[in-house]
A and B are shown apart, each in its own frame.
Chain A
Amino acid sequence: MVASAATPSVFGNGSSTGLDRLEVGARASVESVSGERSVRRRLLEMGLCQGVEVELLRRAPFGDPIELRVRGYLLSLRADQARLVTVAPKR
């Protein structure tokens, strides 16, 4: 797996992490989306709003990009963008 340089969120309960760091099969709830304005806008528009549940379905061979289920559809993001989405993993 390719490790990424995601910086942990300063908000949240300490278990927050970048979406790219989620384990395969894990579910999480979106806390915030950072990054350049146009990128952030598009990520939000794709439904990655605060509080929405995401599930990491799989990683591509060589670890990148990743595939998510969000709002009932399948979305793929590169780790570069997934890292901009801070999530709180669910048990």
Chain B
Amino acid sequence: MPAPSCHDAGESRTAQASSRPVKTVALVGNPNCGKTTIFNALTGLRQKVGNYPGITVDKREGTFRLDDGRALDVLDLPGTYSLVSSSPDEQVVAQVLRGERADTAAPDAILAVVDASNLARNLYLVSQLIDIGRPLVVALNMTDVAERQGKIVSASALSRVLGCPVVPLVGHKRKGVEGLGKALLEAKAPQRIEYPIDERLAEEECRLAPRIAAIAQIDPEKARPLVRRLLADEPSSDLETFRSDAALSALLDESRARLESLGLDPMQADIEARYRWIDEVTAEVIQTDGTPRRTLTERADSVLMHPVWGLFFFAAIMGALFVSIFWLAAPLMDATEGIVTVLAERVGEAMSPGPLRDLLVDGVLAGVGAVVVFVPQIALLFLLLGVLEDSGYLARAAFLMDRVLSRVGLHGKSFIPLLSSFACAIPGVLATRTIESRRDRLATILVAPFMSCSARLPVYALLIGFCFAGYGALTQGLVLLGLYLLGIVGAASISWLLKRRVLPPEKTPFILELPTYKVPQASQVLLQTWTGTRAFLTRAGTTIFALSVVLWALLYYPRLPETAALLTEEAQNAAQIEYSFAGRLGHLLEPVIAPLGFDWKMGIGLVAAFAAREVFVSTLGIVYSVGGAEEDATQLLQAMQADVRGDGSVVWTPLVAISLMVWFVFAMQCISTMAVVRRETGSWRWPLLQLGMMNALAYTACLLIYQLGSRLFAGGS
């Protein structure tokens, strides 16, 4: 039933059939519709991930090789529920499809991926894609899931009502993928669908159509859809020219006011008209066997989402995740470290002494070592997160945790990135990509480094070993737990403050779809592990490596004059480090950090910690001229205890060690994290805010602890 035409001027609605050969295809679909699986099935590993300039949205492209040797370029657009955007990701989809982006050519055809088990809501996006007027093919995915729910979707019937080819698929089995190529090459733009709409709204549309047609220089009949989008006050960028027309805006306002007085909202009318059409379509194309059945997802959720058992399983799953990334990764990390050490020894033996050898061994190889040592842990983390995400559990975790996290200004989906940050903030920051809301994502990124990462553990271990030497393992363990909790408290308070004072207000509502559970696919999970680990290596690894080399130079130059020959090699090294740029920097820092209880030696350690926090321990080892401090801290601890200032006072009091621990909990010292934050947020503003905010907090906390503490102790003794 078509809507009444304005002039009854015959049917001018010929499809904009472009005879252009199809070379590029855009992949579009709802989140969780299996779009990425289809993209992987089409392109295999022939894909590259880039960025849309100016915004932090991933641009994934690949090549689909057809049986006859021809190839299609496939662009995987971000998952979206609608072409009317509520986030930068969604905005990209509409802009690319309408050909509005200078950086991306409009695709020749659209491949819409539709979840057959959730047809109604998926068809809403399809209804908008038909309006775009480009050749369209629908991939009917997850037909197996639908069948298990007792629903058979007829692809031929759906193709008839949509007016475009519909190819049934089971994406993860690559079933039906071959048929897609042929359909895409022959695709035509489907005819627009006229949704029956209230005639009073149709009247207003007719009144405005000629005006719009004149501005857009198109046929008045074709202007009708534009009028409706304008009346609905759609915020899309392609309507900008019309919105900036003052006379037209006035007319639109009048129309809206008239409709409002009739109790009509064009936006609601349009969405509901589409859903009425969808209800008719689904009734026609879905055959149900009539027996309502309890699906696997429902049965699983009755346990996993149970108010009590759900939390129990959540704790167990997260506990297992946490333990695995430390215990399972530990032997692999040790092995990696061992290989690098052996390699460094070999190179050291093979080369003659000199700056070049030192650069290679202590700069380059140490730098490579600092990067690769984290790789097993980070790969394992991405692997486990991939399994959780692909199974559908990640959304459940977010559901269970949302209340607690929203209290401190975060999101249910912040939980996993924050948990990951206990291994390393970099995968944590990368994992925030699942958070749609920009504000929640920023808040999560900004507080992620408060989680004590594994690079801080050696520092904590040394300082706890120093401070609580006489106490048992239980006390030492509790202190360590306390440091972790302190970081969490810091994160909660800062995110609460950020949400209130700093971050822009949010417009996107909290909407969380709970997808059907499925068995994670090895190929999907491994691909994700690879992409994540590669992102760590390229985005953080390069920074860590470069910093290690710079740090080496800071510790190595300028060289100590030859005249000052000292007794032992260790003493020579210690003298050299004090003479170096880093040593001078330590002295330079001393007035600033003295109120916190730190001396210049710790200053050198703090400078060195900017490459990676655990370097603090080995640097102190060099400063105190003890070798192998990372493996066995006994000698270093003795040297620390024996260290006295010129006036005979002890350098390392327990209070100093506590102050230093608190510094390491709160301070932002990781340049590679900052580099990744810049990339993920698209501006230096946020990493710099993070640096300022965290270090100000660390400085204030340490100042209070040391100053108050030393007064209390002085008064007491």
Contacts and interface: CB of A to CB of B under 8 A. Distances in A.
Contacts of A49: 268, 271-272, 275
A53 to B, nearest CB: 12
B404 interface: yes
Interface string A55-83: 00111111111010001111111101100
Interface in B389-418: 395, 399-400, 402-404, 406, 412
Nearest to A66: B399
Interface stretch (B47-55, B68-76, B81-89, B422-430): B81-89
A72 B510 CA distance: 20
A60 B400 contact: yes
Contacts of B399: 60, 65, 67, 76
Contact of B271 (A44, A64, A74): A44
Given A60-B399, A60-B403, A73 B267 contact: no
Contacts of A58: 301, 305, 307
Interface string A36-50: 111111111111011
A72 B278 CA distance: 13
B117 to A, nearest CB: 8
A39 to B, nearest CB: 4
Q: Is the interface of B mostly helix, strand, loop or mixed?
A: helix
Given A42-B81, A42-B82, A42-B508, A76 B513 contact: yes
Contacts of A71: 118, 120-121
Contacts of A42: 81-82, 86, 508-509, 511
A60 B512 CA distance: 13
Interface in B201-254: 233, 235
A58 B511 CA distance: 15
Contacts of A50: 272
Contact of A72 (B120, B235, B403, B512): B120
A64 B121 contact: no
Contact of B514 (A40, A41, A75): A75
Nearest to B273: A49
Contacts of A57: 301
B513 to A, nearest CB: 6
A47 B406 contact: no
B82 A61 contact: no
A60 B314 CA distance: 12
Contacts of B119: 72
A62 B305 contact: no
Contacts of B400: 60-61
B628 to A, nearest CB: 49
Nearest to A35: B509
B511 A63 contact: no
Contacts of B310: 61
Contacts of B395: 76
Nearest to B233: A37
Nearest to A74: B514
B711 interface: no
A43 B81 CA distance: 11
Contacts of B82: 42, 45
Nearest to B297: A74
B271 A45 contact: yes
Nearest to A41: B267
B514 A67 contact: yes
Given A41-B267, A62-B404, A77 B511 contact: yes
Interface in B256-315: 267-268, 271-272, 275, 297, 301, 305, 307, 310-311
Contact of A45 (B124, B402, B404, B412): B124
B645 interface: no
A77 B514 CA distance: 11
Q: What are the 5 closest A-B residue pairs judged by CB atoms, nearest first?
A: A74-B514, A76-B512, A62-B403, A71-B120, A78-B510
Given A44-B267, A59-B307, A74-B514, 17 more contacts: A44-B271, A45-B271, A49-B275, A60-B399, A61-B307, A61-B403, A64-B403, A65-B512, A67-B305, A67-B399, A73-B120, A74-B515, A76-B513, A76-B514, A77-B510, A77-B511, A81-B511
Interface of A: 33, 36-47, 49-50, 52, 57-65, 67, 71-78, 80-81
8 contacts: A41-B267, A45-B124, A47-B124, A73-B121, A75-B514, A76-B512, A78-B402, A78-B406
